[in-house]
Amino acid sequence: MPRILVADPIAQEGVDLLGSRAEVDSKHGLTAPELMEILGGYDALVVRSETKVTAEVIGAGKKLQVIARAGIGVDNIDLEAATSAGIPVVNAPTGNTVAAAEHTLALMLALARNIPEAHRSVKGGEWRRSAFMGIEVRNKTLGIAGLGRVGTEVARRAQSFGMRLVGYDPFISPDHANRLGVELLTLDEMLAQSDFVTLHTPLTDGTQQMIGARQLALIKPGARLINVARGELIDEAALLEALDGDRLAGVALDVFAQEPPGDNPLLSHSKVVATPHLGASTQEAQREVAIEAAEQVLAVLAGEPARNTVNAPFLPPEVHAVLAPYIQVGLIVGKLLTHLAEGQFVGVTIRYEGEIAQHNTAMLKSAVLAGLLGPVTGEHVNLINAPFLAQQRGLSLTEQSNEAAAEYVSMITATLDTTGGPITVAGTSMRDEAHVVKVNDYWLDITPSSPYLLFVDNQDQPGLIGAVGTLAGRHNINISSMDVGRLNPRGMAMMVIGLDDPVPPAVLEEIKALPQIINARLVSL
């Protein structure tokens, strides 16, 4: 019988489920040396956020077949070390979805009806009914930033309140939004129209402080802001300044950039309702995440696939030699599509050509989708969960195969359809190295080994390459590579420049302002 170590407290229902098919030891509060001393005798490890599963800890788990996180975040687990050791890491991303959605609506109603202030007043011996006049949420506009799991559940529940729903999420399809009854807008449009704004986006480089001074200046006068997602989504200094003005009627915060927030001045502001990160803190949610984690541990131990594996799976040996190099190609193709696309995602078409088309291309499909969705979701997207996440976001998928390849031995071509028009990227592998060979109609040969790629749409004219290079040099930006594709001499062209250094926004604007430059986009790899 397998042995399972539960190193952090989880709901008893999860422990009981594990115990039905394995020997379970619950030992909480172990130091790293204590954990490493005993872990070698266990087949599975279950944690929450308290236990740090470092590379050293993983190295001590000589028999480990699976590591489970009873919750969503896996920041406390060294995924690279687990993957290198061939150990799947699973989490429980759905168990607390309803809890977070319900807490969002609770905070919305608390803001609308001044419940915390009225509570304190009555507890203090007062009876001032007129002092706490509220508003109804019926017929108000709710703006939902992020229509993933929690945002979707918020939308479904808000419909019963008779609210108009608008949303911002560039990475879901319009059809998915329509089914939820949500009108998709830009972030600026959503802020300007919403009476209540609730944040449910993951924390990524693109969403860090997505609500700053500029956004707060655009928000509808008298609006109320709710954050049950991540504290870092809001510029707290800018929020405090906005609260001191007349624009915001109230703010409800369950999360802060630093937790516990200490002497954060937001806590003492009269317009702020605060809770101590309670989004997932229900008895039901804790039970659900424990059961969800336990089910997946038992599945892995039984040799079955888990639903939510957050690190890359092992590629079967019989197809490894052919397909393995193209997994990286698919990841890069998908990532470039996301960075180069404009508008809402609608669907993606993936075409496999040549030798790779003779095999099961499921992993290549997953690689493209993982590259596509990885930059825009806070979840750990991998070859296993990428198709599910794409389906969840309403992204249509078409696959085509052609065993004959004209240009290369094998090639992956993906076209992303968006409301702003399609974008196509193709790639191949040469000498086990990924090459991007086509962007839209431009044939190129890009080895994406640099940390940054600058894509420049331009009119093919003498001296333009030198002008871009001179500008980069003036700002101490080192160019590592360059390739140019063009449709015809002196016609439309694309420069792709590999860079060792990032391009500041002001410098990017300088490049765009050069004669014959149509557009310039920086991609971080």
Residues assigned a catalytic role: 230, 259, 277
Whether the link from the prior residue into 260 is cis, omega within 30° of 0, is: yes
CA distance 446 to 465: 16
Closest among 477, 491, 459, 464 to 522, alpha carbons compared: 477
Contact between 337 and 101 under an 8 Å Cβ cutoff? The reply is no
Per-residue CA distances from 367 to 117, 362, 383 (Å): 51, 9, 6
Kindly tell me the sign of the dihedral angle through the C-alpha atoms of 474, 477, 481, 482. negative
Strands 23-26 and 3-6, bridge-based pairing? parallel
Q: Could you give the count of Cα atoms lying within 13 Å of 67 in the half-sphere of its Cβ?
A: 32
CA distance 68 to 297: 7
| DSSP-derived 3-state class of residue 4 | strand
Whole-number Å distance between alpha carbons of 180 and 156: 7
**Which residues, in sequence order, are bridge partners of residue 387?**
none
Phi then psi dihedrals of residue 252, to 5 deg: -120, 125
Structure tokens, 239? 């929020």
Tell me how far apart the alpha carbons of residues 67 and 4 are, in angstroms, rounded to a whole number. Answer: 10
The β-bridge relationship of strands 452-459 and 492-499 is: antiparallel
* Whole-number Cα distances in Å, 348 to 228, 388, 394, 417, 469: 31, 14, 11, 6, 34
User: Helix or strand or coil: residue 15?
Assistant: helix
Where b means 16+ CB within 10 Å and e means fewer, 408-428 reads: bebbbbbbbbbeeebbbbbbb
Measured between alpha carbons, how far is 37 from 406 in angstroms, rounded to an integer?
Answer: 57
Distance spanning both ends of the chain, measured CA to CA: 45
Tokens of 250: 């109230």
Q: Can you tell me the distance from the alpha carbon of 228 to that of 226, in angstroms, rounded to the nearest whole number?
A: 7
Q: Which residue has the tokens 């449709």?
A: 487
- CA–centroid distance for 486 within its chain: 34
